[in-house]
Structure formats: C-alpha cells, structure tokens
C-alpha cells in the first residue's frame, strides 16, 4: 500500500470539483441575483461543467450557469438553448436539459450528450430571454476510452468492507455518523445477489467538493423510499480513516484497494448495477435522489 497521491491532472480535477460545488452552493441564499430583473447590467454567461470521464456515445453532463456579474441562472431550463459541437462542427441541440434542485443550496443542470468521436468539444449555453447576453461556453474533453466502468460493462468484483458496530464502522468510513445499512453487505456479494446495487464512492470527512455527506443522504433517501428493492453500499475512498481521524492529518490517507480498479478521476461517484450485474447508470459529482431513484427503478425492471 502507498500513501494516496494525486497526479497533477487528478489534482486539477479535484480542485475543479471543489470549485464547482462552491459555485453551486453560492447560488443559494436569500435571494440570488436575478438575470431577468436587470438585463442591462448583464453582458454574458459563464458555464461550469463537471465532466471528467467523457467517451464517445451518450454521456450525462452536469453544469452550472452563472452571469458575469455573479448571478446564477437557477431553474431556467425552459429558456436555455444548450448545444454542443466538436471543433468547427455543426452544433447539436441537447433536448433533455433538466434542472435539479439540491437539498443543500442551489442546484445544477444535467443533459445527456451523445458524442460522435473523441476530441475537444464545447458546450454552449444561450439564454433566449436575454438575447443580448454573450453565450456561455465550457470545454469538454472526450476520451477514446473510459477511465471508470462504462454502461453495460461488468464492474470490478471487489469486496468492500462490512461492519455493524461503532468500533467496526470507525475503521471502515470517515463518516462521523455512519449509517450501518451502507456496510451490511460486501459489494461483490451484493452484485451477485440478483438485486440491483447502488454504490457510492465518497469520503464524507475529507471530501474536496464537500458533497460526499449529502450524496450519502440522497442515496439513503432512495433506499428508505424503496425498502428491499436494491442494495445500497458506501465505499470509503481511504483505507485508514481511523488513523487519519486520530492524527487529524488528511495527508496520511491511503487509497482503498477497493477504489483503485474503478479508475475514479474525481469524487464523489455513484454507480447503479442492474440485476444482471452490469453497470446501468453512473453519476459523477453530486447526484439528486430523484436521479438515483429513476436509475434504480430501471435497473430493477420496475
């Protein structure tokens, strides 16, 4: 085992994920600046996209839209024109742009984009209600192959840690108030059980994006709404949370051997495995309970 080391690209992605959360979190409050009330003060849009593992084919992309004066376009999917294109290629319209309110502050948009090839793509957002605004553009890197398990593929059959007592859970997770149900069954056993499985990779106490705890809460909400329908598992990113907690030093963290074969470039990540043991949905960054619930119902054939 080695101390957890982030390469420069991984570090940049982690910083980006944290920045995205701050953008989203700051969009809440009382009240956010309204881009429709004073259009003369606004001259452009800024788009922040959380998408570190895109490949050719369909991908879920999460993004936030802000204005240059610090405002945020919240719950405005019906007035946004969202397109994406490669280089000087013709723009493709995203037809399923959806706003997802977060249980904390703010929220984010999602869209399913289908990339024809690898390369540098761009995501463009236009506000139809303010045609004088400069479009917001975000760069998207589409790789030839996925770093994480792709849709329709079998996930790594890794055994995750289990436990029920306070002492056992302290060795398994950095969560200061752990939910024992997340650690009742090992991931490899859950996948072979014939039930769907939801697995959340996160580190609640050391999350650089500050969304790992809320992500577990969202997963627990789905579990509680559909008791017995699927297994719900949390995998801590670090192998030694008790040591980190005792010394108060996050730099002591050792990457969990369960995490390594999943190739996660950021955190948190949530995967849904269907009854056949294949990945049926995957979500980068914070994902709402509604999105997870819809994916679980599909995986269960409900």
SS3 122: strand
pLDDT at residue 8, rounded to an integer: 30
Residue from 270, 272, 271, 267 nearest 255 by CA: 267
What's the CA gap between 110 and 82, in Å, rounded? Answer: 11
Q: Is 243 helix (H, G, I), strand (E, B) or coil?
A: helix
Are residues 195 and 121 both part of a single domain? no
Give the span between the Cα atoms of 61 and 51, in whole angstroms.
Answer: 6
CB 48 within 8 A of CB 138: yes
Average pLDDT over residues 202-228: 94
Task: List residues bridging with 201 in a β-sheet.
Answer: 235, 269
- Do 19 and 125 fall into the same domain? yes
Which CATH number characterizes residue 173's domain? 3.40.30.10
Q: Would 152 be classed as within a structural domain? A: no
* Same-domain check for residues 128 and 170: no
The torsion angles phi and psi of 127, rounded to 5 degrees, stand at: -100, 110
CA distance 53 to 118: 11
The answer as to whether 12 is a domain residue is yes
pLDDT at 261: 96
Please indicate, yes or no, if residue 149 is contained in any of the structural domains.
no
Integer Cα distance of 78 and 63 in angstroms: 15
Residue 101: which domain range? 8-142
Do 269 and 173 sit in the same domain of this protein?
yes
**Shared-domain flag, residues 196 and 268:** yes
Q: Would you say residue 157 lies in a domain?
A: no
> Over 225-240, what HEC string results?
HCCCCCEEEEEECECC
Our count of domains for the chain comes to: 2
Asked whether residue 35 falls in the same domain as residue 105, the answer is: yes
In a domain, 223, yes or no: yes
pLDDT at 34: 43
Note if the bond before 268 is cis, omega within 30 degrees: yes
Cα–chain center distance at 89: 28
Whether residue 74 lies inside any domain: the answer is yes
Judge whether residue 39 has pLDDT over 50: no
- 177 to 111, 180, 200, 302: CA distances (angstroms): 33, 9, 16, 32
The pTM assigned to this predicted structure is: 0.85
Q: Give the model's confidence band at 41: pLDDT under 50 very low, under 70 low, under 90 confident, else very high.
A: low
Whether 160 is in a domain gets the answer no
Q: In this structure, what token pair is assigned to residue 302?
A: 């409900």
Predicted local distance difference test score (pLDDT) of residue 26: 43
Residues 20 and 61 in one domain: yes
Domain boundary pick from 110, 142, 174:
142
CATH of the domain at 40: 2.60.40.10
pLDDT of residue 88: 83
d(CA 55, CA 215): 24
Report the C-alpha gap between 117 and 143 in whole angstroms.
8
Do 286 and 225 lie in one domain? The reply is yes
* Residue 158 backbone class (left: φ over 0; alpha: ψ -120 to 50; beta: rest): beta
131 with 86: CB under 8 angstroms?
Answer: no
Q: Across residues 230-256, what is the average pLDDT?
A: 95
pLDDT band for 36, please (50, 70, 90 cuts).
very low
Residues comprising the chain, all counted:
302
Q: Are residues 73 and 35 in contact, defined by beta-carbon separation less than 8 angstroms?
A: yes
């Amino acid at each position: 085992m080695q101390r957890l080391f982030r390469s420069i690209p991984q570090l940049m992605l982690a910083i980006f994920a944290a920045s995205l959360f701050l953008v989203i979190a700051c969009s809440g409050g009382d009240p956010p600046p309204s881009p429709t009330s004073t259009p003369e003060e606004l001259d452009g849009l800024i788009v922040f996209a959380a998408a570190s593992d895109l490949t050719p084919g369909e991908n879920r992309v999460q993004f936030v839209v802000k204005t240059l004066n610090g405002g945020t376009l919240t719950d405005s999917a019906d007035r946004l024109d969202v397109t994406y294109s490669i280089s000087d290629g013709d723009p493709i319209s995203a037809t399923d742009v959806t706003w997802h309110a977060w249980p904390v502050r703010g929220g984010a948009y999602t869209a399913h984009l289908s990339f024809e090839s690898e390369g540098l793509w761009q995501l463009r957002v236009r506000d139809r209600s303010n045609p004088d605004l400069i479009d917001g553009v975000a760069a998207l890197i589409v790789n030839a192959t996925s770093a994480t398990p792709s849709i329709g593929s079998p996930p790594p059959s890794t055994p995750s840690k289990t436990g029920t007592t306070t002492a056992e859970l302290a060795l398994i997770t950095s969560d200061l108030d752990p939910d024992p149900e997340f650690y009742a069954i090992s991931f490899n056993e859950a996948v072979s059980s014939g039930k769907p499985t939801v697995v959340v990779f996160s580190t609640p106490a050391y999350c650089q994006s500050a969304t790992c705890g809320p992500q577990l809460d969202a997963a627990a909400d789905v579990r509680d709404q559909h008791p017995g329908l699927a297994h719900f598992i949390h995998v801590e990113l670090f192998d030694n949370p008790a040591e980190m907690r005792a010394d108060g030093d996050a730099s002591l963290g050792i990457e969990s051997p369960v995490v390594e074969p999943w190739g996660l470039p950021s955190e948190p990540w949530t995967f849904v495995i269907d009854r056949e043991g294949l990945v049926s949905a995957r979500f980068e960054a914070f994902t709402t309970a509604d999105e997870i619930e819809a994916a679980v119902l599909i995986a269960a054939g409900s």
